[in-house]
Amino acid sequence: MTNAYRHAKVPAGREIRACCQLTGDRLRVTVTDAADTLPVLAPARPDDESGRGLALVAALAADWGARSKECGIGKEVWFEV
């Protein structure tokens, strides 16, 4: 949610949503926003004050990914634990 809030540069009135689904022993969290740019996992330098969120998700989650929404507006970023 924080990355979507900070980086999704979209017109006023567009929403950011989170959905949590529990299936068996897996929790899947999906965040959607109206921005088209997919997140990129990039290393942060030791003196960077931000830029580690996606690296933390990748390290802690069983799986994660991002894709453009089928309607053509925005994206979904998800992870499973």
Q: How many domains does the chain have?
A: 1
CA angle, 22 then 20 then 80, to 5° = 70
Residue 65, domain extent: 2-80
Give residue 81's pLDDT: 96
Q: What is the pTM of this model?
A: 0.83
> Per-residue pLDDT for the chain (81 aa), expressed as one digit of tens each?
888 887 777 777 778 899 999 999 999 999 999 888 899 888 889 999 888 888 999 999 999 999 999 888 899 999 999
**Unique residue bearing structure tokens 């924080």:** 2
User: What is the predicted pLDDT for the residue at 8?
Assistant: 76
Kindly state the DSSP code that residue 1 receives in the 8-state scheme: -
What is the biggest distance separating any 2 CA atoms in the chain, rounded to whole angstroms? 40
Distance CA(70)–CA(81), nearest Å, equals 24
